[in-house]
Amino acid sequence: MSVSKYEVGADIDQLEQLSTDQRQYLGYFQAIMQEIDAQTKDTVAKFEGGDEAFQARAAEFNNAFEMTNRGFSRMIDAVDGTVDGYRETKSYLNNLFE
């Protein structure tokens, strides 16, 4: 794709495809993460009252689990926001002098 120096530099179609792919993988990702979470909670439940080190590791896992889920969702939201921003900017610039 050749871009002039006045072109808003983004391939919106590719960004939209990336967003679509990410949303598809989000479903797979969430299913895997739910299975990991269920297995972990089952394991932790078997050791309730266990030593402090085990409980600390379980809390660490829960924190990492939440951070991973939030991070993946933020990445998708960022791509969606970029697509929307480029689309609005390109539309604004295309209609600026009409």
Residue 62 has pLDDT above 70, yes or no: yes
**Is residue 89 situated within a structural domain?**
yes
Q: Which domain holds residue 45?
A: 13-95
Average pLDDT for residues 28-44, to the nearest whole number? 84
Tell me whether residue 91 is in a domain.
yes
Look at residue 39 and tell me if it is in a domain.
Answer: yes
The reported pLDDT for the residue numbered 48 is 65
In a domain, 4, yes or no: no
**Predicted TM-score (pTM) of this structure:** 0.57
Q: Give a yes or no: residue 26 inside a domain.
A: yes
Residues 6+ apart with CB under 8 A from 22: 75, 76, 79
Overall number of domains in the chain: 1
